[in-house]
Chains A and B, each alone.
Chain A
Amino acid sequence: MPLAHEHEIHARRRSRNFGLGAVLVAFVVLIFLLTFVKVTQQSIAFPDQPVASGKPDAGGN
């Protein structure tokens, strides 16, 4: 049976829950944006690409 009268304690808990939810959503969005910027700002070398400061080849002459 639903509560006929909502106690102030419920309003305070709801405020905490919504507040924390908003903080978590904002954090996810922030990390997504940050990751996007970090990845697009740096040039990424794929594994099959030569590394500029690489060691000599194993079977080098």
Chain B
Amino acid sequence: MSDASITPEVTGGEAEFGDYIALLKPRVMSLVVFTAFIGLIAAPVPVHPVIAFCAVLFIAIGGGASGALNMWYDADIDAVMKRTSGRPIPSGRVGAHEALALGLTLAGFSCVMLALAANVFSGLFLAFTIFFYAVIYTMWLKRWTPQNIVIGGAAGAFPPMIGWAVSTGGVSLESVLMFLLVFMWTPPHFWALALFMKSDYDAAKVPMLTATHGRRVTRRHILAYTLLLAPLAIGTGFTSIGGPFYMAVAVVLNGLFLLGALRIWRRDEEAAAADGYKVEKSFFKLSLIYLFAHFAAIGAEAGLHHFNVGGW
């Protein structure tokens, strides 16, 4: 192609490197990296730092591949929603076929490399996670059921289990509890977001609980999941990955989380609209701190073990 053939239309479709990074959903990847790393260091079998670094990197790339496949399939939804309309595909910077190719390539690459760097079980586990997110959640449940968040949340909950599998080569009660912590946390986190971002999901015709069953039911669901989450999070503190420090964090944060869920449940729409969804927004922010602090506390307990301080 000669330079004379360059036109503004072509320029609009020419992606830069950052656009391909954006396809991998770096913010979601950061959560994947963090929880996978904690799952890895909390496990009782030590891993060489270089292998640990590679394993977390390949898990992150697998998460990024899921993100690219999600953006490829959901390009129509992303184009409608204000929050996502600037993403590389709806904005025209990256072609949908490019996102598909990138997603499939990175998915295969990350699973094979994780299997080679750590063990075959963790590679297969990563492959299942990518399949779960890209096919079960993105292609099937997201557009079909208002419980999409619940089941799709499982994909985001697998990374700490994969991190644990990198270290131990298997699954145990502790890794299942870390999975459940993220799994049960996801619905209240996203439904709180849906309460104050309702116009976006409605416009995209995504069957969010707020649209299909109403906002009263959504508030009830947030409380129900928070009630189930609290004993689970505190119960995790009694296992080998817990300890006094984790327990203190869990008790305080679950108390605050329950209080927030109760306040959301007691409010009606008039009160929420009147103060600009202040309670829902603060609950959403708290949910971010909640997950980070729980996993940070698990990591801290694992670190304290080396000084014979952590754990029970």
CB-based contact B54/A30 at 8 Å: yes
Q: With A3-B3, A8-B11, A41-B48 as given contacts, are A34 and B117 in contact (CB-CB < 8 Å)?
A: yes
Whether, in the assembled complex, B10 has its beta carbon less than 8 Å from a beta carbon of chain A, the answer is yes
Q: With A7-B3, A34-B54 as given contacts, are A15 and B16 in contact (CB-CB < 8 Å)?
A: yes
Q: With A7-B11, A8-B11, A9-B6 as given contacts, are A34 and B50 in contact (CB-CB < 8 Å)?
A: yes
Whether, in the assembled complex, B14 has its beta carbon less than 8 Å from a beta carbon of chain A, the answer is yes
CB-based contact A9/B10 at 8 Å: yes
- Of B3, B6, B18, B51, which contacts A34 at CB under 8 A? B51
- Collect the chain A residues with CB atoms within 8 Å of residue B18's CB: 15, 19
- Collect the chain B residues with CB atoms within 8 Å of residue A9's CB: 6, 10-11, 14
- Collect the chain A residues with CB atoms within 8 Å of residue B20's CB: 16, 19
Interface residues in A9-61 (C-beta closer than 8 Å to B)? 9, 11-13, 15-16, 18-20, 30, 33-34, 36-38, 41
In the complex, number of A-B residue pairs with CB atoms less than 8 Å apart:
42
Minimum distance in angstroms from B293 CB to a CB of chain A: 31
Whether, in the assembled complex, B17 has its beta carbon less than 8 Å from a beta carbon of chain A, the answer is yes
CB-based contact A16/B3 at 8 Å: no
Q: Scan B1-45; emit 1 where CB is below 8 A from any A CB, else 0.
A: 001001000110011111010000000000000000000000000
Complex: A34 Cα to B48 Cα, angstroms: 10
> How large, as a class, is the contact surface on chain B?
10 to 19
Minimum distance in angstroms from A4 CB to a CB of chain B: 11
- Of A20, A30, A37, which contacts B48 at CB under 8 A? A37
Q: With A7-B6, A9-B10, A34-B117 as given contacts, are A16 and B15 in contact (CB-CB < 8 Å)?
A: yes
- Collect the chain A residues with CB atoms within 8 Å of residue B10's CB: 9
Residue of B nearest to A12 (CB): B16
Complex: A11 Cα to B6 Cα, angstroms: 13
- Collect the chain A residues with CB atoms within 8 Å of residue B11's CB: 7-9, 12
Interface residues in B42-74 (C-beta closer than 8 Å to A)? 48, 50-51, 54, 57
Minimum distance in angstroms from A21 CB to a CB of chain B: 10
- Collect the chain B residues with CB atoms within 8 Å of residue A33's CB: 50, 54
**Most B CB atoms within 10 A — which of A11, A33, A34, A36?**
A34
- Collect the chain B residues with CB atoms within 8 Å of residue A37's CB: 48, 50-51
Residue of A nearest to B49 (CB): A37
- Collect the chain A residues with CB atoms within 8 Å of residue B117's CB: 34
Residues of A within 8 A of B (CB): 3, 7-9, 11-13, 15-16, 18-20, 30, 33-34, 36-38, 41
A-B contact pairs, 9 of them (CB 8 A): A3-B3, A9-B14, A12-B14, A12-B15, A16-B17, A16-B20, A34-B50, A34-B51, A37-B48
Closest 9 CB pairs of A and B: A19-B17, A15-B16, A12-B16, A37-B50, A15-B17, A12-B14, A16-B17, A9-B14, A9-B11
Additional A-B contact list (9), CB under 8 Å, known A9-B6, A34-B50: A3-B3, A7-B11, A9-B14, A12-B14, A15-B16, A18-B17, A19-B18, A33-B54, A41-B48
